[in-house]
Amino acid sequence: MAETAAHAARPAHVEEHTSTGLPNTKLAMWLFLGSECLLFGALITTYVLYRGASQTGPYPSDVFDIPYTSVSSFVLLASSVTMVLALTAAEKHDHVRMRLWLLATAFLGMTFVGGQVYEFTHFYREGLSLSTNLFGTTFFVLTGFHGVHVTVGILMLLSLVGMSSTNRLPDDPAFPVEMVGLYWHFVDVVWIVIFTVVYLIPNAPPK
Amino acid sequence: MATASVPARRGGIVRRPTSTTGLRSWFTTIDHKKIGMLYGYTAFTFFIIGGLEALVIRAQLARPDQTLVNAAQYNQIFTMHGLTMIFLFVMPMSAAFFNYLIPLMIGARDVAFPRLNAFSYWVFLAGGLFLYSSWFLGGAPNGGWFGYAPNATTDPTPGMTFYALGLLITGIASSAGAINLAVTVVNMRAPGMTLFRMPVFVWMGLVVQFLLAFSLPIITVALFEMLFDRRWDTAFFDPTRGGDPILWQHLFWLFGHPEVYILILPAFGIISEILPVFSRKPLFGYQFVVFSGIAIGFIGFGVWVHHMYAAGLGPVANTAFGISTAIIAIPTGVKIFNWMATMAGGDLHFDTPMLYAVGAVAMFVIGGLSGVTHSVVPSDYQQTDTYYVVAHFHYVLFGGAVFGLFAGMYYWWPKVFAQKLGEGIGKVQFWLLIIGFNMTFGPMHILGLEGMIRREYTYPAALGLTFWNEVSSAGAFLIAFSVLLFIVNVVRTRRRHRPLETDDPWDARTLEWMTACPPEPYNFETIPVVHSLDEFWHRKYAEDKEGRLVRVPAGAAEPAPGPAAGHGIHMPSPSFWPLVAAVGLPTIAYGVMYSWWLVGVGALILVVGFTGWALEPSVAD
Amino acid sequence: MTPGPRKAGGTVTRTRARAGDAASASEVPSDVRKRLWSVLALLALTFLLASCSSYKPQNTFDPAGQPAQEQKNLLVPVLWVAAAVFVIVEGGILLISIRYRHRKGRDRIPAQIHGNTRLEIGWTIAPALILAVIMVPTVSMIWQLAAIPANAMHVTVQGYQWWWGFQYTDADMKVGFGDHGPITVADVLVVPAGRQVVLSLSSEGGGAHTTDGIPDHMVIHSFWAPRLFGKQDVVPGRTNHITFSTNEPGVYWGQCAEFCGLQHGRMKFRIAVLDAQHWDAWVKSQKLPGVTPTDDLAKEGMNLFLNGVSSGGQCIACHAVGGTAASANAAPNLTHFAAREHECFAGCDFETFNPDGSPNLDALSAWLTDPNAVKLGAKMPDYNLKPDEIDALMAYLYSLK
């Protein structure tokens, strides 16, 4: 059963038999994303519960720049498109195009994160820090957690590129790309929720 | 088995280990059975430590106004007692059973992600050690296992920072384990093993993994918020900046209530396996028992406010959750009747596993009844935060869960260690334990109703609480003696070298008893094809025309492994990357407390660990 | 226990019967059994008597007011139902265990019954019905207890680390001096018999500190006087309420019932319920400012209190005495420290008076000498008071009737 690999050939992908027909990793990823829903749910709930409860400023309306954040949100949304394109290329066994679109996705993700860093620095200069008030506390923690998740996603994307470049991915690399894609799309959907709840829904004027 | 990919010629970063024996193999093992044993040894050690903490508590409270320990020491001891027993004993001991038995019971060779399994264990160990290092680094957690803000967020000693970080670490271990075991059960069952042919123990395990996967993220958020309040002055629970301490309670109990079902369902599963074997008849109402377990899983997310009746949420909330709490008593309670009906009409053999299983049921009934009195909300205003509650949860957790775990230890000891634990000492030990247990916790019902609050390091003589406290403390030492006897039993059994006469010493019903004692690393020579619930039993016995059972002469156990045993079965090689990666987590935690450099080092260790893990070939070159 | 088939197709073997395997009850001689039963009975009697004998000041089963009486009335029938279920279920387990236990020499495999749907549905519905019945009076009382009556007396209960303060907020309970603020006391809540009292629970803190400078914090407490009412939590940022009343004058004990830090276990209070005559007298004296002492030693004590002690410590940084410059509220109000009703001090941890009514100088001097030594972590700093300063301060405090 143990095959010896061809010298420079990519590893072959062996389908395991499972009770549901779904691969173990896919099932695991969905369950993991389910638990992540609870994680972000609790963070978003905290934000919503404390909306309007800050006793001092700065308040959201003082610092938010909706057009700016809309652009960076669009960037992240676009990265989901490039992710799909990467998967399509992977399914066609086109490793070159796949790497290209994976890099594009990672780049767009980095742009998003970079945009957030810039935005946070701007808020900080306006006087909003973690400890200033409830808005600062809940905003930075919620978006910060999301940003960390995006960063981890970027690392996974770059790892895929690296592994593909060094022939460590199977000839048909669609599966690992799909798994990372699932995670990436999830992070994107979470951002849509955060953007809506935090930025778009009008905040109560300060008391 | 995990996705097999044929390695490229150029392997991983370092050579992957191959040995499965010897001391070093315990650090690199990815075999679910060895990992289960690691969990078991570690959890039992923490049980002893938590028990010693309990003895200090009971010694201090035996009489009024004692000064065995002062207030600061006492608050750390009772906090660590709770944290140890819940997070470092019952949960990992349940993990020990799940890890060892689930693949065997479903006819699999291992779990879905064996290295992730090892990672979970090492992270758990790291979390436990991190938590206990607090004693030497400025003070152990002292805000109670429930860590209510703002007391926990404003306490000046570092203990509650250890609490937040320590539980975050162990939470990662449990989350990874939950995903691993859930996928294993759903996806790796032997051919023919439909969900409704799985043993009840596996079902309870599945429900527990879902409870973990969905409740742990909530306390993760709570712990981060507490950590940020303590470390970076955020305002989450700071009333002076508009924060609401009740938010902590909601987040904590949204986890905390499913947690108690996480603690009891494994024992329910164990009881559901043992009673049929020692009654020589099948579980009465298998489907009912399974569905009630699932129901408990769902409803368990809808009762959390019953820990907060006195918090002042208002009559609407208290009414709603009073009703939901009453409702959850139903699926919990009907199991009792199913178990009784399993025993009724049977041929009951009261070997030690059976004694413990029946004892667990009997003790759980008492805890369940006091739980029902808690749902009488206005009376709960008197009961809550008193020793009445302490009595309740010890009856369900110690009487129910721990007795269930002891039952499991006695029952599966021959499977794991190829010997039965001594029956003589076992029976004596059981009776001493159940007497000591009732002596310790029975009086606490009275103490609570007579006005003894929880979490006090002393009380005045004028309260008239002395007598029952003395009785309770005496009982605690009886428990300690009985646990000592258990250890004696283990040591003597080990020394005795009396091998089993058969690999199926209890004439059991489920697949794990089809394998050798202990099982080969690959578990089954050939994966069995399953045709029914209690597959092993039905291979041994067939029903004749009158429905009576007749032993099938062909036998059902696996043939003894011959020289060609295991030929063609390739198990994944051991690996040290899970251990390496696991070390990264407490490093980061210490870094958060003391130095950003350490955070960087820890993160690096994590990344290196995961990279090595991802790149190593599945078999050594 | 008959094991299953052996490895590799051997014959079934039995485990050897071992000495010490469970002997049945019938093998114990009858005179020993009789003696065992009488010992058990004696023990049971002893336990019962021992627990019933002494007075227990915080006994929820000895209610002296409302709603404690109603809460007990709700619980007792439920306990009886629980007891009945206990007897039936545990008795059932016991009977089944005895009736169906394996008898030696008779190795049988019983009928393999898998279930009985009707029975299972039955034993699901029965508990559901019992619980539904229990829920009706439960829900009703939840709403009843949540109601706040109109003509009640109002007191704000203030929970600090680790003592209780009380402020009487009704219009007719204002002091007759200074800014005419509410009557403020600590440790002992004094109320009239026969009148409903509404308590508003408030968490306080931030003004006091230990010798090491560790401040007291606003944390969650819980106010509980078991013989009068069930507890409600004292949560920073919200105001919970307790309504209670009693017709029986007396002193009722209570404690903080939510873990609140180091001295949670010794954060106590009492409720002194007075008959009409004594209540009027108490209110009248509370409306007066703190007594100005005539005694020299007490005068010296007052001087130290108001102007600071030799080490530089200022009592007035935290404490208040009505009618003087001392008006801080970070620590117990001392205006009527020596009033007869003020039975205890320092989180109601020490008796103000000896059993014979004389001042408990031992306790107070120990407290003043080093609060941390008698109550670890107490938020009253150690001002290194000299013995003569302590004597003077005590004389002053005991003059504040």
CATH code (residue B85): 1.20.210.10
Query: pLDDT higher for B127 or B14?
Result: B127
Which pairs from C309-316 meet CB under 8 Å and 24+ separation? C309/C383, C309/C385, C309/C389, C310/C385, C310/C386, C310/C389, C311/C383, C311/C384, C311/C385, C312/C383, C313/C381, C313/C383, C313/C384, C313/C385, C315/C393
Res B572: pLDDT: 87
pLDDT in tens, C285-312: 999 999 999 999 999 999 999 999 999 9
- Domain termination residue (choose one: B556, B571, B586): B571
pLDDT in tens, B65-78: 999 999 999 999 99
Query: Is B7's Cβ below 8 Å from some Cβ in A?
Result: yes
Query: Half-sphere exposure of residue C80, counting CA atoms within 13 Å on the CB side?
Result: 6
Is B582 in the same domain as B565?
Answer: no
pLDDT in tens, B500-529: 999 999 999 999 999 999 999 999 999 999
CA distance C330 to A128: 32
Q: Give the rounded percent of residues in chain C with a pLDDT score beyond 70.
A: 87
Show the tokens assigned to C113: 């019954």
Res A205: pLDDT: 58
Query: pLDDT higher for C8 or B184?
Result: B184
Instruction: Check if the beta carbon of residue B93 is closer than 8 Å to that of residue B406.
Output: no
Nearest CA in chain B to C130: B326
Show the tokens assigned to B428: 């004596």
* pLDDT bracket for residue B570 (50, 70, 90): confident
Is B550 in the same domain as B581?
Answer: no
Peptide bond into C67 cis (omega under 30): yes
Q: How far is A73 from chain B (nearest CA, A)?
A: 24
Q: How far is C179 from chain B (nearest CA, A)?
A: 27
Res C1: pLDDT: 54
**Does residue C9 have a pLDDT over 60?**
no
Q: How far is C355 from chain B (nearest CA, A)?
A: 14
Which residue carries 């038995």 as its tokens? B101
Is B108 in the same domain as B183?
Answer: yes
B236 with A55: Cβ contact below 8 A: no
B3 with A13: Cβ contact below 8 A: yes
- Domain termination residue (choose one: B529, B553, B571): B571
- Which residue type, as a one-letter code, is found at position B350? F
**Does residue B11 have a pLDDT over 60?**
no
Res C36: pLDDT: 65
Ramachandran quadrant class, C128 (left: phi over 0; alpha: psi -120 to 50; beta: rest): alpha
Query: Is B48's Cβ below 8 Å from some Cβ in A?
Result: no
Show the tokens assigned to B314: 């208002």
* CATH assignment of A24-51+67-203, among 2.60.120.380, 3.30.420.40, 1.10.10.10, 1.20.120.80: 1.20.120.80
Query: pLDDT higher for A7 or B333?
Result: B333
Is B532 in the same domain as B582?
Answer: no
Res B6: pLDDT: 37
Res B545: pLDDT: 72
C4 with B504: Cβ contact below 8 A: yes
Nearest CA in chain C to B353: C1
Res B19: pLDDT: 77
Res B555: pLDDT: 56
CB-CB neighbors (< 8 A) of B234 in chain A: 130-131, 136-137, 141
Res C35: pLDDT: 66
Is B567 in the same domain as B577?
Answer: no
CB within 8 Å of chain A, chain B residues 168-187: 175, 178-180, 182-183, 186-187
Question: Per-residue pLDDT averaged across A116-129, rounded?
Answer: 96
Res B275: pLDDT: 98
CA distance B376 to C136: 10
Which DSSP string corresponds to B55-106? HHHHHHHSSTT--SS-HHHHHHHHHHHHHIIIIIIIHHHHHHHHHHHHHHHT
* pLDDT bracket for residue C2 (50, 70, 90): low
Show the tokens assigned to B517: 């004692």
pLDDT in tens, A43-83: 999 999 999 999 998 999 999 999 999 999 999 999 999 99
Instruction: Nearest by CB to B619, from A2, A35, A137: name it.
Output: A2
pTM of the entire predicted model: 0.93
Res C190: pLDDT: 98
- Which residue type, as a one-letter code, is found at position B222? A
pLDDT in tens, B221-244: 999 999 999 999 999 999 999 999
pLDDT in tens, B305-353: 999 999 999 999 999 999 999 999 999 989 999 999 999 999 999 999 9
Number of neighbouring beta carbons within 10 Å of residue C16: 8
Mean pLDDT rounded to a whole number for chain C: 90
Query: Is B148's Cβ below 8 Å from some Cβ in C?
Result: yes
Is B240 in the same domain as B178?
Answer: yes
Instruction: Nearest by CB to C110, from B239, B281, B503: name it.
Output: B281
Instruction: Nearest by CB to A3, from B6, B180, B243: name it.
Output: B6
Nearest CA in chain B to C52: B464
Query: pLDDT higher for A207 or A5?
Result: A207
Question: Per-residue pLDDT averaged across B392-404, rounded?
Answer: 98
CB-CB neighbors (< 8 A) of B450 in chain C: 56, 58-61
CA distance C355 to A93: 93
Question: Per-residue pLDDT averaged across C80-95, rounded?
Answer: 97
pLDDT in tens, C309-333: 999 999 999 999 999 999 999 999 9
The parent domain of residue B589 ranges over: 1-29+572-621
Cite the beta strand spans of chain A per DSSP E. Answer: none
Which DSSP string corresponds to C343-362? -EETTTTEESB-TTSSB-HH
CA distance B128 to B41: 13
Strands of the sheet containing C188-192, edge to edge, are C188-192, C268-274, C250-256, C221-225, C229-234
Show the tokens assigned to B567: 């030929």
- Which residue type, as a one-letter code, is found at position B173? A
CB within 8 Å of chain B, chain A residues 36-55: 36, 38-39, 41-43, 46, 49-50, 53-55
Instruction: Nearest by CB to A19, from B188, B241, B570: name it.
Output: B188
CA distance A133 to A203: 15
CA distance B381 to B363: 25
Suggest the residue from A3, A15, A24, A168 to mutate for an interface test with chain B (most B CBs closer than 10 A): A24
CB-CB neighbors (< 8 A) of B340 in chain C: 89, 92-93, 96
Q: Indicate the helix (H) or strand (E) that contains B249.
A: helix B245-279
Q: Give the rounded percent of residues in chain B with a pLDDT score beyond 70.
A: 95
B322 with C135: Cβ contact below 8 A: yes
Is B235 in the same domain as B313?
Answer: yes
Res C107: pLDDT: 76
Grouping H, G, I as helix, E, B as strand and the rest as coil, residue B22 is coil
Is B567 in the same domain as B578?
Answer: no
Q: Looking at the 3D structure of chain B, how many domains does it have? A: 2
Nearest CA to B58 out of B550, B458, B384, B499 is that of B458
pLDDT in tens, B408-428: 999 999 999 999 999 999 999
Res B15: pLDDT: 72
Q: How far is B241 from chain A (nearest CA, A)?
A: 6
Question: What is the torsional sign of CA C13, C18, C23, C27?
Answer: positive
